[in-house]
Chains A and B, each alone.
Chain A
Amino acid sequence: MANNFLKTSRLDQFLDALRLFGELHAPTTSESGVHRFSLLDDPADLNLDYRRTQIPPKKYLLPFREEILHCAGDTYREGHCGAVDMVLFGVHSCDLEGIAYLDRVFLADPADPGYSARRASLTLVGVTCHPDDFCFCPEGTVSTACDLFLAASGDGFHLTSHSVRGNAILAAAEHLLEEGVPLQPATSSGLCFPPQDPELRFSDHPLWEKFASTCVSCGACSVCCPTCYCFDVREYPALSGGCTRIREWDNCLFASHGEVAGANFRPERLDRLRYRFLHKYCGFTPLQGISSCVGCGRCKEVCPVDIDLRELTVAPKQVQP
């Protein structure tokens, strides 16, 4: 059988091999101590012990803000998608599942041009995670939604390829690998929080009112969510004539999210919370019946007022006041 075990002492050399496949990005820690994915110049900056990055890898596929169209006179051109060959190393299973969900949204017919270009040039290398109190995915789950997965084991990693590109990486790194004990076959974690009955969003659970009164609509929950993809499209005229159209992340708790000419579909914060519940845990057409929660725990960690919408699925008497 082929060698598939990488000793930790050879990780730096393995990272160099990964650079053959594109610009290497990996989990690092910022000056102020925030975990994030960023360009990895120096392997010493790698932080593989991270629990979760503040922003999930979606930032590489769906940037916070991008110019999608430029008009001038009678002509227009699409924005530059900025796709470069990139390897994202050290992604946890929840985030891999998050990307798999976004793929279902943005690569479906018709595919989003910017997203598909960036996705096609992105190589994903997953790694074993260490859950903390905020995580809520089933323990020990391993995602297969990547090119290569590194399962930590003893003094190294078992490498499993899940794509042609993964095979190519294994071939390029063959001289660094040795024989290891075979692993249990990987099980896809799938989506960790089961889909909910859409009617639940209209329940008279007392937490609805509490959340509606404490939510500050800061937007952190969706900014940091690996599967939130709502965006706003705005157009700004240019002084030279013509205009620029931008796409920017939006949040369903903002007053403007459900606003249309002359009215608002969701005028109150309570309506917006019910809508968020629907989208996260029930899904809509064509992803109806699919929960988009991957259990990364970011929303729970970043919420200033400790809102956890999952509590709405538990009978009131079991909820801490």
Chain B
Amino acid sequence: MRPMKLAITGLTACSGCQLTLLNCEDELPELLARCELVYFPLAESGNKLEVQFDAAIVEGAVSTPKDLELLFRLRNASKVLVAYGTCALFGGVAAMNNMTCSRHDLLQAVFGAAEKLPESFAPAPLANYVSVDAVVTGCPPEKQEIAELLAALAAGTLPPPRSYPVCTECRSRENLCLLLEKNELCLGPVVQGGCNARCPATGIVCEGCRGPVREANVAQELELLLERGFGRDEIERRMSRFKPEWDYGQRH
């Protein structure tokens, strides 16, 4: 069987998702047996872009002209384009202030009153610019979900999605419910599960790093948090940490 040709790269991101992939030590030998890593600048030199890829796995949000150029090139050269990680899916941490201040102000805050600021626009998900064939959510994604995706791609398919919120796995692990029992600002009910409630299991609220679950009842979650005395600003700030835009009236 011909090994699949892969491109793995990042746009505006911290490279954490790609590092998580490199940390899948147990799976790497099998992965290398099944695929040819043609373009993976984080991990190797001698990368080639001028080929056709079976799949491109792209981390990060789109926020510069260079991001856009790389994204279009990979889209055109790949059968399957994977939005890899929360930034690629929802904008992520880089986009958290999209709704609250202008790009120009943010650039000045970082680079000072320099004469020439870098060219940059509000970070956005890949799907705002190109069609996306598959997604892996998480900041960073779970190793298991990465392995599932790579194995499915190698088998010529895509992994079946999970469509339950963090609460489902959280309750199943017999964690203390931080929202109901401790009145903490937990986003479990509206956030995509699959992390095995990693944070609530250690007593830390769900901060929503995996983005919204399908048909999230956002309006009710907002009500639950308001009832517990959190301010609207505080709630919106928390919810936009990994995804800037939520429809706060959405019930399903």
B-binding residues in A (CB < 8 A) = 30, 32-34, 36, 53-55, 59, 64, 213-220, 223-224, 234-241, 243, 249, 251, 254-256, 268-269, 302, 304-305
Assembled-state Cα–Cα distance A255/B159 (Å): 18
B171 touches A256 (CB 8 A): no
Interface centre among B31, B167, B221 (most CB of A within 10 A): B167
A30 touches B151 (CB 8 A): no
Assembled-state Cα–Cα distance A255/B240 (Å): 24
Instruction: Say whether, besides A234-B160, A237-B152, A239-B147, A32 and B176 are in contact (CB < 8 Å).
Output: yes
- What residues of chain B lie closer than 8 Å to A255, measured between beta carbons? 163, 214-215
Other contacts beyond A235-B160, A236-B160, A304-B177: 17, CB < 8 A: A32-B203, A55-B172, A64-B172, A216-B165, A216-B190, A218-B188, A219-B171, A220-B168, A220-B171, A236-B148, A239-B31, A239-B154, A249-B168, A249-B172, A251-B164, A251-B168, A254-B163
Q: Contact mask B175-188 → A, CB, 8 Å, 1/0?
A: 11101100000001
Contact of B157 (CB < 8 Å), options: A214, A237, A241, A249: A237
Give the total number of A-B pairs whose CB atoms are below 8 A apart: 109
Assembled-state Cα–Cα distance A251/B150 (Å): 28
Assembled-state Cα–Cα distance A28/B5 (Å): 52
Q: Is B98 an interface position by the 8 A CB rule?
A: no
Residue of B nearest to A38 (CB): B174
Q: Is B155 an interface position by the 8 A CB rule?
A: yes
B217 touches A215 (CB 8 A): yes
Main secondary structure of the interface of A (DSSP, over half): loop
B154 touches A54 (CB 8 A): no
A223 touches B172 (CB 8 A): yes
Instruction: Say whether, besides A55-B174, A64-B172, A216-B189, A239 and B30 are in contact (CB < 8 Å).
Output: yes
Contact of B174 (CB < 8 Å), options: A34, A214, A218, A254: A34
